[in-house]
Amino acid sequence: MSALPRVLPAPRGPHARRARRERALLLVPVLLLLGLVVGLPALRVVLLGFTRTELADGVRSVWAGLATHARTLHDGRFLSALRNTALFTGLSLLLEGTLGVALALLLHERFPGRGALRAAVLVPWALPTSVMALAWAWIFHDTFGMANDLLERLHLIGAPVAWLAQPGTAMAAVVIADAWKTTPFVALIVLAGLQGIPDEVHEAARVDGASAFQRLLRITLPLLVPSLVVALLFRAVQAWGAFDVVYVMTGGGPGGSTETLSLYAYQSYFRYLDFGYGAAVATQGMLLALALAALVVRLASRREEA
Amino acid sequence: MTLPAGISRFVVGVVGVVVVALGAAGCPGTRGAGRPALRFLVPANERPFWLPLAATFEKEHPGLRVDLAEGPVNTDLRESLTTAALLAGDGSFDLVYLDVTWTPKLAAAGWLLPLDAAFPEEARRDFLPQALAAGVFRGHLYRIPFRTDVGLLYYRKDLLAAAGLPPPRTWSELEADARRLQKPPGLSGFLWQGAQYEGLVCFFLEVLRGHGGFWIDPETLEVGLDRPEAVASLEMLQRFCAPGGISPPGVAASKEEETRRLFQDGRAVFLRNWPYVWRLAQREGSPVAGKIGVEAVPTVSGVPGAGTLGGWGLAVARTSRHPDEAIAFIRHATSLASQRLFCAPTGFAPARRDAYDDPALLAANPFLPELLKIHASAAPRPVVARYAQASDVLQRHLSACLGGLASPRDALVAAARETRALLGSEP
Amino acid sequence: MTGFRRRPLAAAALAVGVALAATWSLLPAAWQALTAVKPDAQITAVPAVWIPHPPTAAHVRALWERKPFGRYLANSAGISLCATFLALAAAAPAAAALVRMRPRARNRWLLGLLLVSLFPPILLLFPLYEGVRALGLVNSPLALVLPYAAFGLPLAVWILEAGFREVPREVEEAATLDGLGPLGRLLRVQLPLAAPAVTAAALLTFIASWNEFLLALSFTTRDRAKTVTAGIASVSGASLYEVPWGQLSAAIVLSTLPVILLVLLFERRITSGLTGGAVKG
């Protein structure tokens, strides 16, 4: 993308080798820390996925090759968790992306009190999920909850909705709670992207007679795509591993309709003491996400080249 | 100056700064390392009531210390913490304070010490038999009950009396009474726990037994979920929370506390819940104080139903370095004096038989004799090593039916199939 | 789009937007804040009581008396600060290295860093727990600092790399000609010039560390070693059974105030810190 290569190292010779060694050394701390805290533990769990856990007169892990992994093929609960995770991730990203862009556009305008609003918008992101999820469960409670109280006062619903008791509304409630918490993150990064668009671009369009709406549609939004992609990439990774929100709000219910892969892996590991299977579920979830990511990157880069 | 040295110096410097900063932040040392300490995890809300027990124990055993680690209030989180500690096998806990359903799993994993020799036949007679039996797995005793629980039916004495109705003994009586007395949304007919969690299983089991059905036979591993009694049970619950039924739709997402609050606010005629509700609903300032009664859960036939057994007990971790002292603590905690110390201020149901005749406890909790009567028919949940999975299978399918995803028959047929597959691998 | 003057329709739309944004962001939080000062009877009243009458400080006082809440706050602050410092110290050199790579290699590294975080963090809990126990780090702040720093790394590298890319190449070359090595350039040129990006990365890491729950719960067993989020899990009411909503809300508000103050303090810096960089992903 960048027209000017930023660095032009001499292709050969001691100088280039030195520069490469230098760069490699600079990457050591990151690799060390990630390797120690994420790499090694993850490797241990991945290896565990190739064992079968026996629970009789003690827990034993027996090497099982791919047998444990194969269990997911006949496991309806795994498939439903996979579907829920995908649905949760998709809906969350959709809602956060839309709201995030809208908020960013709003915060980019100049108006009195903008600083205060910018700070206010960031508040949800500063609240700990572990506790706010509990609060959201109460907000969606059919009798005590703020959601029903508000909707009834506004005459949007006639009778209280039992949000967490029905599959569709339960998923919606969980997605809303998640999006509430993370929209500020998306808005922040998109806002940064907005600020990077030079004013001249807008001026030129204005001179050309484009209306405000046309400018938004044809100039601003396309220029926002890269920063939105960055924000959503990070969010996608987090949403795919979503745990606390679901665990606290619905426990995966009703009828398993909000159970995510993380939740299922956690239950298998910590409650069923089926370490092998929990590890296999987590590993497959990660591999599927990787495959999905690879596909997206491949498609994106092909489009860029075209 | 060569580059690598510069960078490594930088890294060393950074690490140094962090370590020093952390040192300054203070790493709490181990206190009183001289005396051996018995460590275990108790929920934060119960900890104040355990402290007197620890104090009396330390007075009787001057060489020992009891270290009550304060755990989260949430039971699931404590289950995970306990599991992680036992799995790591590092002896960080000497005792385990465990729910009635954890015994088979933790015992099968080999993490608990058998207590057969420490608690011989005559010592076992001190306890309520149902509560004690829940600590037995494959013929060995692993868990000594500390406090017990049983599912109950609460009802509004005043509303029933005003309508000239006796407390319901059968499900159809309950349904008819609730229908007659309820005025939704201000006054619901019947509240129970319908969220996808263990509480739903507890309640469903009561209904199932009342219909003459069973879930899992722990001896033969037979599964009864797809039999007509089970289907009839779930059909009834589905009818309860359907529009126009006797339970509000929100019941399918309710746990104990939500239903207790509504009932205590005077917003329901009947409530299925645990004994703890009694004390809260009867205390001063409660809108229903003096207006509630309690009965065994109904059945189809009208014989008093069997409430699901709950409760908490103590076990010794196999990795404990002080097993004998830990056993001594269990004896102490389950003595009549300790039960009085713990149950009088909390209102929990004691696990010892003689506690139910104790004047001090009776004065603190006049509801104990009724509880003892109902507890005599308390029924345990099946003792199988893979209980947590079996329960989750049932929870999911029950919840799916109540959430409108499946018919009662389909939900139970699927649950039965999955449970059989699960138990097929039961060792 | 300069100046405050707009056509009436646009102004009205803007006002509605501002109101909606403020409501959406603040309502649930405000509900918590109000609950924190509500008398117990009004907390679960039906229909809901919005404005407490009269407001009470009982929950805050009870919280402070029953729990070493000040200690929790100090622990959280210390641990999050150390984690943030460590994350930046590791991420900055890496970002400096990445910024000098060819775009293709650089993008691969960036993506790789991101994908490392794809493994569900919840399942890292147990292996980490084993490590923490084996090293005798239970109740030690280090047991939380290292994971928090590591979890914050990918985002920190992305933001810093983007910030460093904005540093004019000429400045960097001049620094090299002055005899500065990569480290000197990083400390004297890149970090100061990309100060906004540094602030943004620091704040993001800090907040994530401050809010982490499960590791904090699992790696601390002593009350005095707990962080705020772990401490909140053991907040219990005056009676044994009830969920102490008032105290919980008070705890949420107290634990969030420091973070909100930080956000307010650095708001201008964060938004400009992320500027540009991310756009050129």
3-state secondary structure of A142: coil
Cβ–Cβ below 8 Å for A196 and C276: yes
**Closest by CA position to B400, among listed A246, A77, C176:** A77
pLDDT at B16: 54
Show the domains of chain C with their CATH numbers: 79-237+252-280 (1.10.3720.10)
pLDDT at A17: 82
What confidence tier does A163 reach under pLDDT thresholds 50, 70, 90? very high
Please say if the pLDDT value at position B38 is more than 70: yes
Distance from CA of C217 to the nearest CA of B (A): 8
Please say if the pLDDT value at position A131 is more than 80: no
What confidence tier does B332 reach under pLDDT thresholds 50, 70, 90? very high
pLDDT winner (highest mean) among A196-210, B212-226, C41-55: B212-226
Cα torsion A296, A297, A301, A302: sign = negative
Cβ–Cβ below 8 Å for A254 and B403: yes
What's the rounded mean pLDDT across residues A114-135?
Answer: 84
The residue among B231 and A202 whose pLDDT is bigger is: B231
- Rounded to the nearest 10 degrees, the angle between the axes of helix A129-139 and helix C245-273 is 120
Phi–psi pair at B137, nearest 5 degrees = -135, 125
Domain boundary assignment for chain B: 37-142+309-375, 152-308+382-424
DSSP codes of every residue in B263-309? HHTT-EEEEEE-THHHHHHHSTT-TTTT-EEEEPPPBSSSSPP-PBE
Contact B260, B282 (CB under 8 A): no
Is C112 in the A-facing interface, judged by CB distances under 8 Å?
no
What's the rounded mean pLDDT across residues A82-92?
Answer: 96
Residue with tokens 């729950």: C213
Cβ–Cβ below 8 Å for A142 and B392: no
Interval B292-310: pLDDT, tens: 999 999 999 999 999 999 9
Which subunits count as partners of chain A given 3+ CB pairs below 8 Å?
Answer: B, C
What confidence tier does C125 reach under pLDDT thresholds 50, 70, 90? confident
What's the rounded mean pLDDT across residues B316-344?
Answer: 95
Contact B265, B258 (CB under 8 A): no
Residue type (1 letter), B32: G
Residue with tokens 């039961």: B426
What confidence tier does A304 reach under pLDDT thresholds 50, 70, 90? low
pLDDT at A203: 78
What's the rounded mean pLDDT across residues C32-37?
Answer: 87
Which H helix or E strand runs over B95?
strand B95-99
What confidence tier does B3 reach under pLDDT thresholds 50, 70, 90? very low
What's the rounded mean pLDDT across residues A57-84?
Answer: 90
Average pLDDT, chain A: 86
Superfamily of domain B152-308+382-424: Periplasmic binding protein-like II (3.40.190.10)
pLDDT at C258: 87
What confidence tier does A253 reach under pLDDT thresholds 50, 70, 90? confident
What gap in Å lies between CA C132 and CA C146, rounded to an integer? 11
Radius of gyration from C-alpha coordinates of chain A:
24
Query: Which of A50-59, A204-213, B3-12, B116-125 shows the lowest mean pLDDT across its residues?
Result: B3-12
Please say if the pLDDT value at position C272 is more than 70: no
Strands B268-273 vs B188-191: parallel, antiparallel or unpaired:
parallel
Tell me if domain B37-142+309-375 and domain B152-308+382-424 are identical in fold.
yes
A258: its two tokens: 């909000």
What's the rounded mean pLDDT across residues C104-121?
Answer: 86
CB pairs under 8 A between A and B: 138
Residue of C nearest to B267 (CA): C46
Please give the ipTM for the structure prediction.
Answer: 0.85
Please say if the pLDDT value at position A301 is more than 90: no
pLDDT at A119: 82
Domain boundary assignment for chain A: 74-305
pLDDT at B13: 52
What's the rounded mean pLDDT across residues B406-417?
Answer: 96
Interval A274-295: pLDDT, tens: 999 999 999 999 899 888 878 8
Residues of B in contact with A141 (CB under 8 A): 250, 253, 258
Cβ–Cβ below 8 Å for C14 and A109: yes
Which subunits count as partners of chain C given 3+ CB pairs below 8 Å?
Answer: A, B
- Give how far the C-alpha of residue C33 lies from the chain's centroid of Cα atoms, to the nearest Å: 20
Distance from CA of C60 to the nearest CA of B (A): 18
Interval B47-73: pLDDT, tens: 999 999 999 999 999 999 999 988 888
What gap in Å lies between CA C164 and CA C152, rounded to an integer? 18
The pLDDT > 90 percentage for chain A reads 41
pLDDT at A1: 37
B203: its two tokens: 């309640």
Which pTM does this prediction carry? 0.89
Please say if the pLDDT value at position C43 is more than 60: yes
Residue with tokens 């646009």: C10
Query: Which of A235-239, B328-332, C164-168 shows the lowest mean pLDDT across its residues?
Result: C164-168
Cβ–Cβ below 8 Å for B404 and A167: yes
Residues of A in contact with C123 (CB under 8 A): 42, 45, 262, 265-266, 269, 278-279, 282
What's the rounded mean pLDDT across residues B400-408?
Answer: 94
Please say if the pLDDT value at position A204 is more than 50: yes
Distance from CA of C77 to the nearest CA of A (A): 14
Cβ–Cβ below 8 Å for B194 and A165: yes
Please check whether the domain covering B37-142+309-375 is classified as CATH 2.40.37.10.
Answer: no
C212: its two tokens: 């982490």
pLDDT at B275: 92
Please say if the pLDDT value at position A240 is more than 80: yes
Question: At CB < 8 Å, which residues of chain A contact B?
Answer: 18, 21-22, 25-26, 28-29, 54-59, 77, 141-144, 159-160, 162-167, 170, 250-257, 267, 270-274
The CATH code of domain A74-305 reads 1.10.3720.10
Average pLDDT, chain C: 84
What's the rounded mean pLDDT across residues C226-243?
Answer: 76
Residues of B in contact with C156 (CB under 8 A): none
Please say if the pLDDT value at position C274 is more than 70: no
C84: its two tokens: 């943030």
pLDDT at C111: 86
pLDDT at B27: 41
Radius of gyration from C-alpha coordinates of chain B:
25
Q: Where are the alpha helices (DSSP H) in A196-274?
A: 199-207, 212-215, 221-240, 244-249, 261-266
CA angle, residues C51, C54, C58, in degrees to nearest 5: 105
Residue with tokens 């449970």: B419
Is C138 in the B-facing interface, judged by CB distances under 8 Å?
yes
Average pLDDT, chain B: 89
Distance from CA of B57 to the nearest CA of C (A): 21
pLDDT at A100: 95
DSSP codes of every residue in B133-176? HTTEETTEE--EEEEEEE-EEEEEHHHHHHTT-PPP-BHHHHHH
The residue among C7 and C54 whose pLDDT is bigger is: C54
pLDDT at B224: 95
What's the rounded mean pLDDT across residues A178-194?
Answer: 89
Contact B306, B380 (CB under 8 A): no
Please say if the pLDDT value at position A10 is more than 80: no
What confidence tier does C5 reach under pLDDT thresholds 50, 70, 90? low
Strands B65-71 vs B37-43: parallel, antiparallel or unpaired:
parallel
The residue among A144 and C58 whose pLDDT is bigger is: C58
What's the rounded mean pLDDT across residues C22-40?
Answer: 87
What's the rounded mean pLDDT across residues B375-390?
Answer: 93
pLDDT at B32: 44
Which residues, 6 or more positions from A14, have their beta carbon under 8 angstroms from its beta carbon? Answer: none
Please say if the pLDDT value at position B106 is more than 90: yes
Phi–psi pair at B144, nearest 5 degrees = -105, 125
Please say if the pLDDT value at position B25 is more than 80: no
Cβ–Cβ below 8 Å for B252 and A165: yes
pLDDT at B401: 96
The pLDDT > 70 percentage for chain C reads 90
pLDDT at B205: 97
pLDDT at A171: 96
SS (H, E, C) chain C: CCCCCCCHHHHHHHHHHHHHHHHHHHHHHHHHHHHHCCCHHHHCCCCCCCCCCCCCCHHHHHHHHHCCHHHHHHHHHHHHHHHHHHHHHHHHHHHHHHHCCCHHHHHHHHHHHHHHCCCCHHHHHHHHHHHHHHCCCCCCCHHHHHHHHHHHHHHHHHHHHHHHHCCCHHHHHHHHHCCCCHHHHHHHHHHHHCHHHHHHHHHHHHHHHHHCCHHHHHHCCCHHHCCHHHHHHCCCCCCCCCCCHHHHHHHHHHHHHHHHHHHHHHHHHHHHHCCCHHHHC
Please say if the pLDDT value at position C120 is more than 90: no
The pLDDT > 70 percentage for chain B reads 91
DSSP A289: H
